[in-house]
Amino acid sequence: MSSPQSSLKKAFKTIVLPRIRIVITGLLLIIVSKSASFVAPMAMRTFIDDLIPNEDLLGIKNLVALVLVALVIQAVTSFMLIKLVSVQAQYLITELRAEVQRKVLSLPVRFFDNTQSGALVSRVMKDVEGVKSLVGTGLVQLIGGLFTAVVAFVLLIRISPTLTLFSLAPLALFAVVAIKAFSVVRPVFRERGKIEAEVKGRLTETLSGIRIVKGFHAEKSEEASFSKGIHRLFDNVKKSMIYMALVSSSSILLAGIATTVITGIGGYYIINDQLTLGAFLQFTFLLGLLISPIFQLTSVGTEITDALAGLDRTEELLSEVSEYDDSGKTPFTEPLRSLRFDKVSYAYEKENLVLKNIDLEVKRGEVVALVGTSGAGKSTLASLAASYLTPTQGTVWVNDQPLGELSLSDYRSKLGVVLQDDFLFDGTLKENLLFVKPEASDQELEKALSAAHVKEFTDQFERGIDTIIGERGVKLSGGQRQRLAIARALLADPELLILDEATSSLDTESESLIQQSLAELTRGRATLVIAHRLSTIRNANLIVVLEKGQIVERGSHEELFQKQGRYYDLYTRQAKI
Ligand SMILES: Nc1ncnc2c1ncn2[C@@H]1O[C@H](COP(=O)(O)OP(=O)(O)OP(=O)(O)O)[C@@H](O)[C@H]1O
Ligand SMILES: [Mg+2]
């Protein structure tokens, strides 16, 4: 965790400095606005001490005009401050959100395995709001406030050093209380963002898993875990509220004391002719100008503290290494001819190898099928092929170049995946297809839909492919979802296709339909397919049997069947069911 100074410095460099023009505009505006606020108290003294005793009507007229002008200036500059600076700050939040989201999407899959999505949502949407306080009115107000305080202080000293001393003693005490409180509150704020993100994350999971929650009638336990989270949040907020209340009440108390003492001493000075009435009134006015920014400091201080905590988290995220950093990588534009695993091993956790010494090649126009019992490492192998993971040992070669040395975005643009738990977005069927190829023509769409036998069921929908399929495609059956996923892959027309159990939730009839479309889908590209239903891969060019992370058999369906080994066992066992 970084210290307040270092994060303030960092935030200044990365957030404030690039937007220094807005900040300076804001500062100029606030200085004009604050300077204008001094006109009224200054006029007060002339009004009482000179103009009234001398019955100077013209003077009064001029003075009133001057004060009015100052008021108008104040109003206009505060309006412009909001219009220019606050609106700009909101725009920056928008920009920063886009930047953080882009960054998040560029992070490797492993990052997401270890981070709650809800927490990331919070990072993207909420934490960046801190810029508002730094670039927007927060910092500007803080500096404007300090400016007012300093000017007011100088003017106060000029009126009466003793009175100033008496008024400043309680204020100094207040500053001590405030600084102390902020040092306590800062970590509390930091913690708050974290708790909020966790609670939100869990709630999101509960809602997306609503079928399981209800299926096991586990609402109570979800309620309990949510309630625990929000009470942690409550405790956190309570803690900061108490400290903030301490700051604001002590500020009110001490300011009150200062005013009362000054009234007493001021009265004494006036009676002894050491101070004119005008000067005294001016003093109290100016004291107000000195104190109000210190009050403001409380709220702006809280805001900036909160903002820095959020921006710290944003900074942390932005400093993660994107997997699409192409510096030093070779562009990969030629067609993909082959993908070859060369003695590849992989461990999710140290030492515990999930894949061992895999040698395997998929060529363009070929289908290589992976089979094996659950947990054998098939999906892991597919993840390596998709470069979601990088080998712990060994090399994945693409057209005789190591995958690790190629531009990842070039490689991924040649890739199409249909995964075990295939993902559909909330939206229409059509949108789910088009997101892989937004520019696809209606004919292309039509072709993919009929080849994947999606038309069979969309024709029954009242709104056809404009039907909304719900979050994760809940309004479709498992088989329908898979066919849609296949259509999506067909539309994307990738050079390397990875299919993880694409046919597992199909009945025999749709399976045979799908088999036809798969034959179509795999033509002319390299295909790596994982299937539990062994009947779907009989025509594969090569079948590889994985067991405990190792290849134990390889060959065509006929060869392996005749061999009566592991594949034969798997196949006959399945045929019996
Ligand atoms: N993200 C992960 N972090 C840690 N371990 C993992 C992760 N994903 C998978 N594993 C482990 O790796 C091993 C292989 O998993 P994998 O998903 O590759 O199996 P699979 O052959 O696809 O199984 P299935 O047929 O059930 O889909 C399993 O023991 C699993 O526990
Ligand atoms: Mg799997």
User: Are residues 343 and 300 part of one domain?
Assistant: no
148-157, 313-322, 398-407, range with the lowest pLDDT: 313-322
Query: Which ligand is in closest contact with the Cα of 384?
Result: 1
Tokens 């400016």 sit on residue: 147
User: Are residues 183 and 92 part of one domain?
Assistant: yes
Beta strand 542-547 with 367-372: parallel, antiparallel or unpaired? parallel
* CA 388 to ligand 2 center in whole angstroms: 14
Is the predicted pLDDT of residue 228 greater than 90, yes or no? Answer: yes
What would the pLDDT profile of 96-131 be if each residue is shown by its tens digit?
A: 899 999 999 999 988 988 887 777 888 888 888 887
Residue 114 Cβ contacting ligand 1 at under 6 Å: no
Polymer length in residues for the chain: 577
Q: Is residue 387 part of a domain?
A: yes
User: Are residues 253 and 402 part of one domain?
Assistant: no
If one counts the domains in the chain, the total is 2
Residue nearest to atom 1 of ligand 1 (CA): 113
Residue 215 — pLDDT band, cuts 50, 70, 90?
confident
Q: How far apart are CA 316 and CA 311, in angstroms?
A: 8
What would the pLDDT profile of 161-200 be if each residue is shown by its tens digit?
A: 988 988 888 878 887 888 788 788 878 887 888 888 888 8
More confident residue, 420 or 266: 266
Amino acid (one-letter) located at 238: K
Residue 398, strand partner residues = 339, 401
Is the predicted pLDDT of residue 1 greater than 50, yes or no? Answer: no
Tokens 């559909």 sit on residue: 424
What would the pLDDT profile of 9-61 be if each residue is shown by its tens digit?
A: 776 777 777 778 877 888 888 889 989 989 988 898 899 999 999 999 999 99
User: Are residues 95 and 11 part of one domain?
Assistant: yes
Residue 459 Cβ contacting ligand 1 at under 6 Å: no
The answer to whether residues 140 and 17 touch, using CB atoms and an 8 Å cutoff, is: no
Q: Is residue 456 part of a domain?
A: no
User: Are residues 303 and 371 part of one domain?
Assistant: no
Residue 542, strand partner residues = 368
Q: Is residue 518 part of a domain?
A: no
DSSP three-state, residue 526: strand
More confident residue, 501 or 331: 331
More confident residue, 46 or 134: 46
Q: How confident is the prediction for the chain on average, in pLDDT?
A: 86
Q: What is the pTM of this model?
A: 0.75
User: Are residues 313 and 350 part of one domain?
Assistant: no
User: Are residues 228 and 125 part of one domain?
Assistant: yes
502 lies in which domain range? 339-414+496-507+526-577
Among residues 318, 350, 385, the one where a domain terminates is 318
Is the predicted pLDDT of residue 2 greater than 60, yes or no? Answer: no
Among residues 318, 349, 376, the one where a domain terminates is 318
More confident residue, 477 or 224: 224
* CA 484 to ligand 1 center in whole angstroms: 25
Q: What is the pLDDT of residue 496?
A: 94
| Residue 36: CATH number of its domain | 1.20.1560.10
Angle at 366 between CA 365 and CA 371, to 5 degrees: 155
User: Are residues 386 and 281 part of one domain?
Assistant: no
Is the predicted pLDDT of residue 246 greater than 90, yes or no? Answer: no
In a 10 Å sphere around its CB, with 0-12 CB exposed, 13-18 middle and 19+ buried, how is residue 433 labelled? buried
Q: Is residue 563 part of a domain?
A: yes
Q: Which atom of ligand 1 is nearest to the CA of 348?
A: 4
| Residue 569: CATH number of its domain | 3.40.50.300
Is the predicted pLDDT of residue 218 greater than 60, yes or no? Answer: yes
377-386, 509-518, 540-549, range with the lowest pLDDT: 509-518
User: Are residues 343 and 310 part of one domain?
Assistant: no
Q: Which atom of ligand 1 is nearest to the CA of 372?
A: 21
User: Are residues 313 and 347 part of one domain?
Assistant: no
Mean pLDDT of 458-463: 87
Kind plus residue range of the DSSP H or E element containing 28: helix 20-37
Q: How far apart are CA 93 and CA 87, in angstroms?
A: 10
Structure tokens at 309: 């905590």
Q: Which atom of ligand 1 is nearest to the CA of 373?
A: 25
Edge-to-edge strand order for the sheet containing 496-500?
A: 415-418, 496-500, 526-530, 367-372, 542-547, 550-555
* CA 353 to ligand 1 center in whole angstroms: 11
What would the pLDDT profile of 395-408 be if each residue is shown by its tens digit?
A: 999 998 999 999 99
Q: Is residue 153 part of a domain?
A: yes
Q: How far apart are CA 68 and CA 451, in angstroms?
A: 77
Query: Which ligand is in closest contact with the Cα of 381?
Result: 1
User: Are residues 176 and 277 part of one domain?
Assistant: yes
- Ligand 1 pocket: which of 111, 114, 355, 378 to mutate (most atoms <8 Å of CB)? 378
- Beta-carbon contacts of 148 under 8 Å, excluding residues fewer than 6 positions away, are 34, 37, 289, 290, 292, 293
Q: Is residue 332 part of a domain?
A: no
Q: What is the pLDDT of residue 380?
A: 93
Is the predicted pLDDT of residue 315 greater than 90, yes or no? Answer: no
More confident residue, 503 or 8: 8
